[in-house]
Amino acid sequence: MRFSNAFLDEIRDRVPISDVIGRRVTFDRKKTNVSRGDYWACCPFHGEKSPSFHCENRKGRYHCFGCGVSGDHFRFLTDLEGLSFPEAVQQIADMAGVAMPQPDVQAEQREKERMGLVEVMEMATRFFEDQLQTPAGAKARAYLRDRGLTGRTIETFRLGFATDSRNALKEHLAGKGVPKEAIEACGLVVHGPEIPVSYDRFRDRIMFPILSVREKVIAFGGRAMSPDAPAKYLNSNETELFHKGNVLYNHARARKSAQGANGTGTIIAVEGYMDVIALYQAGIENAVAPLGTALTENQLDLLWKMTPEPVLCFDGDGAGIRAANRAADLALPFIKPERTVRFALLPDGKDPDDLVRHEGRVPFDKVMASARPLAEMIWSREVQGANFETPESRAALEARLRQITAAIGDEDVRRHYQQDMRDRLNTFFRPVQRQGGNFGGNGGGGFAGNRQQRGGGGNRGAPQGNAMSSAISDRLARSALVRGAQELPALRESVLALTVVNHPDLLFSHYDEIAIIEYENRDLQRLWSSLIGIAGAVGARLDRVRLIEELEANGFDTLLKGLEQQVRNSRLWTATAEAASEDANEGYQQALALHKRTRALLWQRRELERELALATEEGDGERVPQILRALQEVQNETVRLESQEAIIEGFGVMSGRVKGPAAR
């Protein structure tokens, strides 16, 4: 029995591959990260003592770094248990709770017809490729050459040319025996009751074949050669094969790149065909593009199936900013833990094609390294260029942010976004204390966000609890621990990151806790995301040299040098490559303990200050003293940790156990 691709995809998506494999192997508890759907085990296909067999739920694939076997749900069952393919499908369908499809003569006939249309599209692709090399295609070849494309790139993307003829393609296909109905069904001609004679849809255009996820040509995009053409870009119309909102240009190739050993582990969504192709030629193979329209929900879901945090890259002009804001609103309701987006905004007037063609890959890598989180994108949009001098305007901003974050479907993520926006508002509107101890001055200006202060009588009218809370907050803000979360990067964060970079064996002995480390520093957040992706792709064979090469290729060269210099200036030798493994592990554990406790204190302070504000507003005289005492305890703990943080300098002294020269 033949199974439709839609049915196979459905049952694969319903059943995590770890559930299939977990029945036959025991997953390694140290290397496995259940929350990320990332599993390691000893390979069931060959004998081994250390786990090098890896499967990942998000990708629905397994791979053994020892013997090289790889595959999906069905391949695992057919290869390991000797099941036939239908038997493997039956087993996965049972696990998914989906009934096996009944033989459907009509459905099988439609599938045959679809395959017939795919063959017609392949014939059209070859025709366009041939036309590009004829004298009629000289102008198109010159255009592609002027855009900096090499012959290899043109061949890779199978670019072609549609001549300025109303029937060249139609006659070519008819001459090959393709019936008129099939040509029309593929959308290759314009036809209809009011059109006596159908004619070629694409004329005098450079042709971009659009491939399905299974790498079959299902549609075309055409770029007009004439400046007078009504549409600069023209896509195929909707057909049995092609639904524009469900397809990404370069989907299959980008997915392979992101999942491969040399991939970055993420996907970059750019705006156009030429952006994708130019990036590919510059060595960035993990880029996709929507097909001439704004990103759709289905396309966003396709991105999330490939990576938990795609980067949406937009041109730096006004239209690009507006498109980025629309994408932010589109993504917000669907974000979840381990599923979000980042935004990379190019310099004004530049698109990816311009940037890499004229300046090379490095500037683009820098743009990617500075990609902004979704929360920051939303905050910037709401406050940029606005005036918040009045209480009404500030209340309106707070109400807008509350309404925006309410759209988030996941309860936990929504709660954290609401807290994040409250923290930003508190910082944005926090008055700056002037000399004499009073806030404000003589009546001018707005709040801290505008670098001016309200006039008024300072804290005279505020409850005593607020004054004490402010004093505690000021002391906390001045402390080294809290200051470390504000000054970028904090020394302890640098120690954590650089220790793992220089001693990658820690990745596999402490994978669970390393994978979920949260950094305040945004550069370190991006470095960490890239590092975890590289570790997952390369596996147990990862060493320091390979890891640094991969990170530098991803644009982190300057950051790594800065971390190294910062750590060496502070004489924290356990984070360097020269430290022995035992010392590196000990230093890492101490730094991690301090880091966790510091973040917990910061979270406690924010929550207590929020509770204090609510209690004061409600006039709850009983709760205010209790909250103030709790805040004081947090401050005392902060002071104790500050004294302990000096240990970091202590564990920087080496014990004498040093790696040999080869390790450096």
pLDDT of residue 645: 52
Count Cα atoms within 13 angstroms, Cβ side, for 24. Answer: 16
Report the C-alpha gap between 622 and 479 in whole angstroms: 29
Same domain? 211 vs 302? no
Q: Are residues 336 and 377 in the same domain?
A: yes
Burial degree of 7 (CB within 10 A; 0-12, 13-18, 19+):
middle
Highest mean pLDDT among 148-162, 356-370, 388-402, 559-573: 148-162
Residues 90, 109, single domain; the answer is no
Lowest mean per-residue pLDDT among 95-104, 169-178, 449-458: 449-458
573 neighbors 306 (Cβ within 8 angstroms): no
Is a pLDDT exceeding 80 seen at residue 114?
A: no
pLDDT tens-digit readout, 413-439: 999 999 999 988 888 886 533 333 333
Euclidean distance between CA atoms 147 and 142, whole angstroms: 9
| 582 located within any domain | yes
Cα dihedral 449, 454, 460, 465, rounded to 10, equals -20
Tokens of 207: 């042709």
C-alpha–C-alpha distance, residues 207 and 157, integer Å = 10
Among 4-13, 364-373, 501-510, 545-554, the range scoring the smallest mean pLDDT is 501-510
* pLDDT per position as a tens digit, 342-390: 999 888 778 898 888 888 888 898 899 889 999 999 998 898 878 888 8
Q: What is the CATH number of the domain that holds 282?
A: 3.40.1360.10
pLDDT-above-90 percentage for the chain:
37
Domain endpoint, select from 39, 64, 96: 96
Cis, peptide link before residue 489, omega less than 30° from 0: yes
Q: Could you tell me if 246 and 290 are in contact, meaning their C-beta atoms sit under 8 angstroms apart?
A: no
The pLDDT of residue 447 is 33
Residue 232 inside a domain? The answer is yes
Does 62 share its domain with 171? no
Q: What is the pLDDT of residues 207-224, one digit of tens each?
A: 999 999 888 999 999 999
- Round to whole Å and give the CA distance between 268 and 275: 11
Domain region containing 622 = 485-650
For residue 661, pLDDT beyond 70: no
Claim to verify: residue 227 and residue 282 sit in the same structural domain = no
Q: Which of 242, 263, 287 is the last residue of a domain?
A: 242
Q: How many domains does the chain have?
A: 4
Question: At CA 510, angle to CA 508 and CA 516, rounded to 5?
Answer: 105
* 404 and 287 within one domain: yes
Q: Is residue 502 part of a domain?
A: yes
Find the CATH number of the domain harbouring 148: 3.90.980.10
pLDDT tens digits, 488-532: 477 888 888 899 999 988 877 776 667 667 787 888 888 887 888
> Same domain for 250 and 311?
yes
Q: Are residues 516 and 382 in the same domain?
A: no
- Picking from 96, 121, 143, the residue at the C-terminal end of a domain is 96
| Residue 141 in this model has a pLDDT that exceeds 80 | yes
Query: Where do runs of H (alpha helix) occur along 265-410?
Result: 273-281, 297-306, 318-331, 352-359, 361-369, 374-383, 391-405
Same domain, 415 and 500: no
In a domain, 297, yes or no: yes
- The answer to the question of residue 448 being in a domain is no
Q: What is the pLDDT of residue 109?
A: 59
User: Does residue 22 sit in helix, strand or coil?
Assistant: coil
* Domain match, 282 and 425 both: yes
State the average pLDDT for the chain.
Answer: 81
In this structure, are 266 and 201 located in the same domain?
A: no
**pLDDT tens string 73-86:** 999 998 888 788 88
DSSP 575: G
Residues 296 and 414 in one domain: yes
